[in-house]
A and B are shown apart, each in its own frame.
Chain A
C-alpha cells in the first residue's frame, strides 16, 4: 500500500519490514512506512496497536527485532545519536520535570540540546512568547493543566528547531480547544518545513493530516491521504434513519454483508463489505419493522476508513455503548 521511494531525499522516514517482539507478543509486524518531508503524517490505531512501539523504534529508543529504518538519511538504531540532535520527541506521558518551572524546563532542554548560553536565552524567550507562557513562566510544570503541559512539552521538543518531530498521542488528555490550538502550532511548524509524525486516536485529528497510516494489531492496514482512503470506501457507507434504531440494529447486524453498525442519535451508520448487493433486501427488511425507515448511501468518513481497516474495532475513546 505504500509508495516506493528508494533513497528518496523527499522522504523523512523510510522503514521497511520493521517488527518488534516482546517475549511471545509481536507488537509490530513487518511495517513499511514512507513519511514525506514537511508534512503532517498521522499514525492511527486502537490502543495497543503498536503505535508507540513503532515511534520508539523510529527514534532509536527500542531496537527493532527485524527490518531497516532510515530517518533523515540516517540509519537507526546505528546512527541514532546523530539523529537525536535533529529530531524532537514528545512522549505519550508528560515527561518534563514537574518540580521545575516552565522557564527552567525550557532552559534545561535548550542547554541539553546544545544551544549556547545566548542562543538558549533568546530561544527560550521566543518560545515563552510564542507558546503563550508569558505571564506564568515561573510556574512549576507540575501545576499546569493538561493543555498547558502539552504546549510546554511541544515547546521543549522544538527548542532546538528539529527537522523531524515525533509526537506520541500528544493530545490524548487534552480538551477540544487546547487540541485545536495544539494543531495550529503543528501546522505552523509543518509550514516552516518540519516533518511531523503524530499518533492519535481522534478522527478529527486524522482528518487534518496530510497523510495517514492505520495500524492494527501491529500491522499496517491502511496508508494514504485522507481523501484517498475515504474514496477507497466509496459506496460502502450507509445511513439508516429511524425512530426505532435499536430494533433495526439487530436486523442490520445479522446481515452478513455488514461490517459494522454504530448508532449516532436516531441514526445508524453502517459499513458494508465491498460490492455489497443486499441493499434492497435490507431496506425491505427494515421497513417491515419501521415503515418510515430511510436507508441511503453516504460519503464515507475517516471513521469508516478506520472501522474498515480495523475490522469493526473502533478506537477506545469513541467506542459507542453497546
Chain B
C-alpha cells in the first residue's frame, strides 16, 4: 500500500465528484425527499377513513354506538345509507372504505347476546383492513354488548413512541435505508463506469494495486455517507422532533459501520457487473429485501423464520437494531455488540471478496 498513490486516487475521485453535479445533487436530494415522503406521506396511523353508517334500528342505544365510533376519528362519515345493501354498493364504488351496518333487530340481538354490528371493510387495502378490525375490538362496542359478556377494556401502552407518531419509528431506520441505496449504488457505479469508459484498462497497466484502487475509491464516499446521515438527522430532529436519546457519537459510529458494510458490498458488485445498468440491478436486488426484511417496514419478530434468516444477512437489519437502540432507547453501542460485530464481519468478508475478485487483468 503506497499512501502517495492512494492519495492520488482519493484526490482524483474527489475532483470527479465535485464536477459530477448529478451525483452531488442526489447525495442531498435523496435523503431530503425520502425523509419528507416517509415522514409526511406514509402515515401508518390510519385516521379518518371514509365511512358510511346504516342504522336500521335507529334506537338510542344504536345512536350512542355510532357517536362513539365517530368519536374515535378512525372513521369519518362521508355518506349516508339506509340499508346494508346500500353500504355494499358504496364500498364497491370506492366512495367509502368502511361501512357499518346496525341491523333493525339490534335491541333483540343485544338481549340475546348475539352479533350486534357488522363492519364492512374494503379489504383491498391491508392497512385499512387492519384498522377496521381494530375498530371492532374497541371496548365501546364490547361495553354495548352489556351483561355477562362485558369484556375488560384492553389498554395498549406504547413505550418510546407513546404518541405513536410514525416519524419517530421511521427516521432512524431511514438513515439506514438511504445509506443502503446510495452507498451501494454510488460505489458500484463509480467503478463500473471506469470500466465502461476504458479508464480501468489504463489504470491496471500502472503499478496501482487492487487494494489502493478499491480503498481510494471508497474513502470519499464515506464522507458523503456521513453528510447524508447528518442531513437526515438534522431534518428529523427539526421537522419531526425525533429524539436522540443515546450519544450522537454512537449514532455516527453506527452510520459508519453501515457505510463501510455498504461500500464493501458496492465494491463486490462492481467486480461482477459489466455495465452500469447491471450494477444498478444488482443494487436493487439487495435493496428491496433490505427495505422489506430489515425491520424497517415490518416488525422483524413477525416474520417467518426463513425471512428472518435472510434478514440476518442484510447489513440494514443490524443497523436498524443499532440505530433504534441508540436514538430511541438511549442504548450505547457496547450494549448492542452483536449487531456491531455482525456489521464488522459483513464488511470484512465483502471487502476481502472484492479485493480477491478484482483482477488486474481484462480476462
Q: Is the CB of A96 within 8 A of B205?
A: no
Given contacts A94-B198, A98-B197, A100-B12, contact A113 B206 (CB under 8 A): yes
Q: How far is the CB of A77 from chain B (nearest CB, A)?
A: 8
Which residues on the B side are within 8 Å of A59 (C-beta)? 205
Which residues on the B side are within 8 Å of A62 (C-beta)? 361-363
Q: Is the CB of B205 within 8 A of A61?
A: yes
Query: Chain A: interface secondary structure?
Result: loop
Which residues on the A side are within 8 Å of B360 (C-beta)? 80-81
Q: Is the CB of A109 within 8 A of B19?
A: no
Q: Which residue of B lies closest to A153 (CB)?
A: B202
Give Cα A77 to B203, complex, Å: 17
Q: Is the CB of B207 within 8 A of A95?
A: no
Give the bracket for the number of chain A residues in contact with chain B: 20 to 34
Q: Is the CB of B19 within 8 A of A96?
A: no
Give the bracket for the number of chain B residues in contact with chain A: 20 to 34
Q: How far is the CB of B94 from chain A (nearest CB, A)?
A: 51
Q: Is the CB of A96 within 8 A of B199?
A: yes
Q: Is the CB of A93 within 8 A of B198?
A: yes
Which residues on the A side are within 8 Å of B15 (C-beta)? 99-100, 104
Q: Which residue of A lies closest to B212 (CB)?
A: A112
Which residues on the A side are within 8 Å of B253 (C-beta)? none
User: In the complex, which of the residues A93, A108, A140 has the most CB atoms of chain B within 10 Å of its own CB atom?
Assistant: A108
Q: Which residue of A lies closest to B363 (CB)?
A: A62
Q: Is A43 an interface residue (CB 8 A)?
A: no
Give Cα A161 to B362, complex, Å: 25
Mask of A141-163 contacts with B, CB within 8 angstroms, 1/0? 00000000000000010000000
CB contact list, B176-206 vs A, under 8 A: 197-199, 201-206
Q: Is B8 an interface residue (CB 8 A)?
A: yes
Which residues on the B side are within 8 Å of A94 (C-beta)? 198
CB contact list, B11-65 vs A, under 8 A: 12, 15-16, 19-20
Given contacts A60-B361, A95-B197, contact A112 B205 (CB under 8 A): no
Which residues on the A side are within 8 Å of B362 (C-beta)? 56, 61-62
Q: Is the CB of B198 within 8 A of A91?
A: yes
Give Cα A108 to B4, complex, Å: 11
Q: Is B7 an interface residue (CB 8 A)?
A: yes
Q: Is the CB of A111 within 8 A of B363?
A: no
CB contact list, A92-121 vs B, under 8 A: 93-100, 104, 107-109, 111-114, 116
Q: Is the CB of A111 within 8 A of B7?
A: yes
Q: Is B208 an interface residue (CB 8 A)?
A: yes
Which residues on the B side are within 8 Å of A114 (C-beta)? 2, 4-5, 207
Given contacts A56-B362, A61-B362, A84-B206, contact A108 B198 (CB under 8 A): no
Q: Which residue of A lies closest to B202 (CB)?
A: A95
Given contacts A91-B198, A112-B5, A116-B4, contact A97 B12 (CB under 8 A): yes
Q: Which residue of B lies closest to A104 (CB)?
A: B15
Q: How far is the CB of A26 from chain B (nearest CB, A)?
A: 15
Which residues on the A side are within 8 Å of B197 (C-beta)? 95, 98
Q: Is the CB of A63 within 8 A of B8?
A: no
Mask of B249-264 contacts with A, CB within 8 angstroms, 1/0? 0000000000000000
Q: Is the CB of A84 within 8 A of B198?
A: no
Given contacts A62-B363, A97-B16, A100-B15, contact A109 B199 (CB under 8 A): no
Q: Is A85 an interface residue (CB 8 A)?
A: yes
Which residues on the B side are within 8 Å of A93 (C-beta)? 198, 201
Q: Is A182 an interface residue (CB 8 A)?
A: no
Which residues on the B side are within 8 Å of A98 (C-beta)? 197
Q: How far is the CB of B96 from chain A (nearest CB, A)?
A: 56
Q: How far is the CB of B29 from chain A (nearest CB, A)?
A: 20
Q: How far is the CB of A165 from chain B (nearest CB, A)?
A: 11
Which residues on the A side are within 8 Å of B363 (C-beta)? 62-63
Give Cα A156 to B197, complex, Å: 17
Give Cα A98 to B4, complex, Å: 23
Which residues on the B side are within 8 Å of A116 (C-beta)? 4
Q: Is the CB of A81 within 8 A of B205?
A: no
Q: Is the CB of A81 within 8 A of B201?
A: no
Q: How far is the CB of A214 from chain B (nearest CB, A)?
A: 24
Write 8 A-B pairs (CB below 8 A) sorted by A numbering: A56-B362, A60-B361, A61-B362, A62-B362, A84-B207, A97-B12, A109-B206, A112-B206
* 10 nearest A-B residue pairs (beta carbon): A111-B8, A95-B198, A95-B202, A89-B205, A93-B198, A61-B362, A112-B206, A99-B19, A108-B12, A91-B201
A-to-B contact residues, CB < 8 Å? 56, 59-63, 77, 80-81, 84-85, 87, 89, 91, 93-100, 104, 107-109, 111-114, 116, 140, 156
B-to-A contact residues, CB < 8 Å? 2, 4-5, 7-9, 12, 15-16, 19-20, 197-199, 201-208, 360-363
Using A60-B361, A95-B198, A140-B19 as known contacts, list a sample of 5 further A-B pairs with CB atoms less than 8 Å apart, ordered by residue number in A. A61-B362, A80-B360, A91-B202, A95-B202, A114-B4
